[in-house]
Amino acid sequence: MIKLLLAIVIVHGAALSATGALSAAGVLSAAGRAPFSAHGASPAQGQWPAFGVYHTAGAIKCVSTRGGSTVVHPRSWVYDGDKLLLLDAGAEIILFDKDSNYIRLAGKGTYTTDDIKKMQRTHVKDNITVRYLSLLWEELFKPGSAAAMEKETMSNSTGGVSRGLSLVVAPADNYQTSMDGQTFRWQRVAWATTYHLRLRGADGQPRYDSITADTQLYVRFTNRLPYGSSYTWSLDLLGGSGRTQSGATGHLTLVDEKTTLASLPPLPPDPLGDLDLDLQRAEQYENSGCINKANTLYHHLLAVYPNDSSLKELYFAFRRRNYL
């Protein structure tokens, strides 16, 4: 479905970041502009955008084929037949096309959409930004999809899905995290009356040991398990008449964020920057197991862009992957 939508067109918005710089997000700006406003007809009237506006600087106007002209702002659409007027030497605009390519126009000039379509384009390389752009279109076609996902996610805040273990739901084997603790969740077994969860260090010594009749346990790592180490966990099933059965085993690594963050390579230069760069950072943090750092960054971005449904969807997916 996403591929089909991208075959039609893809658009990228921009909003002010916390530092005041422009960044990609379909949200209301401090000036109160509506997200992804159209220079002319709206998608509901049967015409889809040719380009989305990612970033603007200086004085830029759009002359519509339907008459009239408007000032071009980030998070707006440009349609076939529209004409962009860059009115001064400091004017600059970045546009996105249907295939996640971007085009940068700078300096005084006049450009029709036909002119722009003939220009050299640069493809967006990072996966998370491409996913973000896809979500913008999903939300356009299916308004409210992010709100529905938020309701579903909040109703099951412990998160997580089965990742190949028939009994244990969370966490996955070889999961890495830097959070203060982790909720272990498993399926109920009919004959089992209690469940025995243990964590052992690399030396085989027990570091956590608890029995519960519930199907989940929250294990707090802080001041109990040293970070920067890996642990083996096991879940045993206990039933009546002394029946015991091994349920599942797995491995968990607690990431020392301070050490890991200091060793991360710098991100490659990003000509788009702003929110796109922040999303790449969040992905880098998650991939390195710095889940706490990534979670904090997502919270910060959502505070800056509270109405960005696509950003919310990225965060909900992050939460599900990390059982938050």
* Residue 273's pLDDT band (cuts 50, 70, 90): low
**pLDDT above 70 as % of the chain:** 77
Domains in the chain with CATH codes: 2-143 (no CATH), 179-254 (2.60.40.10)
Listed in sequence order, the residues at least 6 apart from 84 whose beta carbon sits closer than 8 Å to its beta carbon are 60, 61, 62, 63, 72, 78, 93, 105, 110, 111, 112, 116
**Mind listing the pLDDT tens digit for each residue in 58-86?**
999 999 987 889 999 877 889 999 999 99
For the chain, the residue count is 324
Q: What is the DSSP letter of 33?
A: P
Q: Please state, rounded to an integer, the average pLDDT across all residues of the chain.
A: 81
Residues 11-19 have a mean pLDDT of 35
Read off the pLDDT of residues 220-230 as tens digits, 9 standing for 90 and up. 999 999 999 99
Tell me the pLDDT tens digit for each residue of 230-259: 999 999 999 988 899 999 999 999 999 999
- Tell me the residue ranges of DSSP E strands in 144-243: 168-170, 175-177, 181-186, 192-200, 206-212, 216-220, 229-239
pTM for the structure as a whole: 0.75
pLDDT at position 28: 29
Residues 178-199 pLDDT 10s? 999 999 999 999 999 999 999 9
**Better-predicted residue by pLDDT, 141 or 49:** 49
Percent of the chain with pLDDT over 90: 58
**Mean pLDDT across 108-132:** 91
Q: Are 254 and 288 in contact (CB under 8 A)?
A: no
